[in-house]
Amino acid sequence: MQNDGKDLHPRSRQGPLHQDPTATAAAPHQLSKPAYLLSVEETLRELNANPDNGLTVEEATARLGVVGLNVLESGGGISPIRILAGQIFNAMVLVLIMGMVVSFSIKSWIEAGVVTSVVVINVVVGFFQEYSAEKTMDSLRSLSSPTAAVIRNGQVITVRSADIAPGDIVEVKTGDTIPADLRLIEAMNFEADEALLTGESLPVAKQVDIVFKEEDEVGVGDRINIAYASSTVTKGRAKGVVVQTAMTTEIGKIAQSLRGGDSKVRKVRRTDEGHAKFQYYLEAGALTFADQVGRFLGTNVGTPLQRKLSWLAIFLFLIAVVFAIICVAANGFKKEQAVILYAVGTGLSMIPASLVVVLTITMAVGTKIMVSRNVIVRKLDSLEALGAVTNICSDKTGTLTQGKMVVKKAWVAAEGTFAVSETNTPIDPTAAQISLDKSMPHEVAKIPKTQAQIQAESPWRNAIDFIESGYVQHYLNIATFCNIATVSKRDDSEEWDARGDPTEIAIQVFASRFDWNRKKFTHSENPSWSQIAEYPFDSDVKRMSVIYREYGGNPEKGYNEWAFMKGAVERVLDACTHIQLKDNKVPLDEEWTRTVIKNMEALASQGLRVLALASREWVDHVEEWGSHPRADVERDMTFCGLIGLYDPPRPETAGAVKNCHRAGINVHMLTGDHPQTARSIAADVGIIPKNINSLSPDVISSMVMTAAQFDRLSDAEIDDLPVLPLVIARCAPSSKVRMVEALHRRKKFVAMTGDGVNDSPALKRSDVGIGMGMAGSDVAKDASDIVLTDDNFASILNAIEEGRRTFDNIKKFVLHLLAENIAQACTLLIGLAFKDASGLSVFPLAPVEILWIIMITSGFPAFGLGMEIASDDTMFRPPHDVKVGIFTTEVLVDMAVYGVYMAALCLASFMLVVFGFGDGQLGSNCNDRYSQSCELVFRARSTTFTCLTWFALILAWEMVHMRRSFFRMEGKPERPWTLWARNVWRNQFLFWSVFAGFVTVFPIIYIPGLNTIVFKHRPIYWEWGIVFLESALFVAGIELWKFCKRVYFRHFGEKVKNPEIELGGSTFSRYASFATSEVTDPDSRQVDPASQV
């Protein structure tokens, strides 16, 4: 059956869909039989894999070189044909094509040839630029692909799923996506959702030791010793060896069979009876056609900004048609070649042909820069949205802090308080000493002592000196066994390795200081302990429990069984009924509960993360632990003590938080830690004021809430708060969702970090979901918009700065391009008034001149503006309004002012040459060819063309900053007199684009034939005086306009609302009034609470 089941679908649970055609070929690392028919030992031996140390990096690389990357061949990827079609079938190029067709139809061969060349160049250049951008984006997308934890050279490292090779040892936990087909070698309460593969809605419980026989004819869904690629871990944890990758996995076989099945045809609606009416077919056909047109024009693909600019292109296309009609109408609808050429030129003047391509390149460059700043953009929409973020909701551990925990204090209720000395090697158990104070932590905190007193009363000693106490041993049993981290010494050196969660590593290191490492008891030749069951840590229950068997303890059974628990103090206390003291075990009454809480708060006030440890002897017999209820285990526990871990803030976090505040971004800490711990860290990094202890208790309680306090409030009560909490401790996933919703009701734009499976709803609800690349689950990363590769809060600030930079640059080049279009269109439309002796309008700019300005003069400087670095005031401005987008009132007004001003100067230059210094004669048929009577018109046209070209190039440099003077682009420069030169040279692509634009004017004007026949203008001489004068006037006009803008925005513009300043002032009084009185000040009601967040 196994070999003949190629026609069976996997969901039949009766075998594979088809056999790999290369399965019979001798391949490296190929198993003698399918992995589910082999034992763990056989599989490891045939794959030459080590379950403890994994493959070496060199061996993994070599195997990848043979079998290829672990990726499914989608058959898609970058489509050159699609990119080429997108370059041709967009509104802007269609206008050029229409101009080309019209030019050919009226036999204006020169204009037709030039327009054809422009179309070809625009399509070819655009194709290669977008193809390059797509390749860049594709390579960046691969960085955001799922990752996996593999053991290489004895250490757990995170690699791309694509880089996994046969024989790799992979560790997976709840929330992970399984990267390849694995033969399980270890599993604890492990279940996986295989609905994608088998269609079964329920997760499948896996077993390691079972080995099937070939005659069993076991279907895919019943091979419970295999974890399949693309399935999701729903429960527990496991370790497995990779047996199949890429298209040889079971999911790869399905992908092979389904390739090409993606249809872009709309489905036909049907009635409740399943019938399709004739009009439903028409509707589906019309919608499918509309979809295809939208794809061609770009109005229903890409990011919101790309779609908006595609609609802008269509709008400009319609404007171009209208302007062309106006030109023809102004000349009495005469079918003269000159009239039609004028109409073509006016239509072309409205087309920023390079706009969409520049946008694509700018966004590709932005995402590439993001990678260098430890941020991977998964969805391009977020690149536009980052600059609008007003509030960041961040986790603490590993994001605001270093995630390198070390146990500093441990309270064993039956013995006293242990302290750990300072160490520079936190994972080396031999690198620190231990002291013991017989007092409880809150008693130690009450009586200040000098270091000499502490040393005299509690001298530092080796941890092994304290191990004789049975109470300490039992405490260490909980610490080492209720823990899945591994700490071990390397075989080839004196260094130590640690694998696992930072919290559990720190606890395992603490136990190892007493020579109480878990491996000593579970991995020896005759293990004295073995694990029976595990209930992993969950962000809802906030605790973890395990069942362990101790051999030799009970004469009747030959063993004892214990339930060990660790977790958040309140949650562990909920499960406890007794507390273990020195002499006996006593009930955990209210007085002892208050004492435990006092001790916890004493440790938390030192900035320590505090966990509780508890246990009970397990006497019940359980047949199947996989289905045994967790609640039955986590009850009637005996409280044994507390453990305090210190996770220092990252050095850069405080500066990043301050910079967020300067940028008008408020930071909220949503953490699972105790309120005292959270408050201490929040004060250290500047999320709350450092002088918070000097404030009244009601103010403090309003600024720092627990999730229970926050969740007790109704939505209306949350909305009535003058300020939302800056710190929410003991935060649950549901509290994160409520926080996002509360901020949304206040019209805030929210970024939310998350790493766990349960964080996915909050990540999706937020405007920008931020996944953790190192500690985050695949489910959380899949729900996020961007991923931090270093899990560092400062990288969020980097992402926001880069988002603002990209958004600013897009505004700059859009303003630059459209202002030129307005200038050209106004010049030509007003120029309709210039009529020759025959009554036909004489265009101030020839069609070829217009095309030159559109393609060369505008296009390359626009690319340069897209590459501009962030200005020094980028993070001192308020977040932009995402609903308004790039077309702000400022941009629209600037566009009109710059466009009209350029048009006025261009018309002035034309009129000065013709009417001011000339005789006012416009010649005859000067739109078509040069003659002696057209000398004046051709010289005036040349002057106008030069002026507009130089204006466009000057405008590009002026757009480097939309408000600051070109001569002072920085706020406080060191050498202000040479600042403009440094700024000009800083962006060399923009510099050379502008320089080339200035220089290429001369051959266009002076090369015989090229000037009069193609561009329809003549060389100029004294007219250069007009060009220089008007260029100076243009610079002066823009500088004056920018000066007026600076004055206006200084008095009336939106100011940055720095939370530090607001929290230092009236906000506290609002907190106090809210907390102490139900009477609301009528004046305070008039303040928008949203403005205070």
CA–CA gap between residue 762 and residue 741 (Å, rounded): 9
CB proximity list for 609: less than 8 A, separation 6 or greater: 397, 405, 503, 644, 645, 646, 647, 673, 674, 677
**564: amino acid identity, one letter:** F
416-436 CB burial, b ≥16 within 10 A, e <16: bbbbbeeeeebbbbeebbbbb
Q: Cα dihedral sign for 1022, 1028, 1030, 1033?
A: negative
Q: 181, 193, 395, 791: which is the annotated catalytic residue? A: 395
Is 808 assigned a catalytic role?
Answer: no
Q: Cα dihedral sign for 930, 932, 933, 935?
A: positive
Q: Determine the number of helices (DSSP H) and then strands (DSSP E) in the chain.
A: 39, 27
CA–CA gap between residue 1031 and residue 87 (Å, rounded): 35
CA–CA gap between residue 722 and residue 1074 (Å, rounded): 8
Inter-CA distances, 363 with 312, 384, 625, 802, 1042, Å: 18, 9, 52, 11, 27
CA–CA gap between residue 235 and residue 263 (Å, rounded): 35
CA–CA gap between residue 967 and residue 4 (Å, rounded): 79
Tell me 461's DSSP state. Answer: B
Contacts 24+ apart (CB under 8 A), 299-304: 302/380, 303/363, 303/380, 303/381, 303/383, 303/384, 304/381, 304/384, 304/885
Angle at 563 between CA 436 and CA 206, to 5 degrees: 130
Q: Provide the β-strand partners of residue 576.
A: 637
CA–CA gap between residue 96 and residue 542 (Å, rounded): 64
Q: Cα dihedral sign for 655, 657, 660, 664?
A: negative
* CA nearest to 342, candidates 1009, 818, 835: 835
Q: At what angle do helices 675-685 and 590-604 cross, to 10 degrees?
A: 10
CA–CA gap between residue 22 and residue 954 (Å, rounded): 63
Backbone angles phi, psi at 567, to 5 degrees: 165, -170
CA–CA gap between residue 664 and residue 878 (Å, rounded): 5
Inter-CA distances, 79 with 71, 86, 131, 246, 1051, Å: 18, 11, 9, 22, 52
Task: Decide: helix, strand or coil at residue 614.
Answer: strand
Q: What is the DSSP string of 911-942?
A: HIIIIISS-----SSTTT---GGGHHHHHHHH
CA–CA gap between residue 290 and residue 197 (Å, rounded): 34
CA–CA gap between residue 480 and residue 523 (Å, rounded): 13
CB proximity list for 538: less than 8 A, separation 6 or greater: none
Backbone angles phi, psi at 452, to 5 degrees: -65, -40
Angle at 1034 between CA 1033 and CA 1035, to 5 degrees: 90
Q: Which residue has the tokens 């044994």?
A: 640
CB proximity list for 448: less than 8 A, separation 6 or greater: none
CA–CA gap between residue 815 and residue 890 (Å, rounded): 10
Backbone angles phi, psi at 898, to 5 degrees: -65, -45
Contacts 24+ apart (CB under 8 A), 439-444: 440/411, 440/416, 440/595, 440/598, 440/599, 441/409, 441/411, 441/417, 441/599, 441/602, 441/603, 441/642, 441/644, 442/595, 442/598, 442/599, 442/601, 442/602, 444/417, 444/602
Catalytic residues: 395
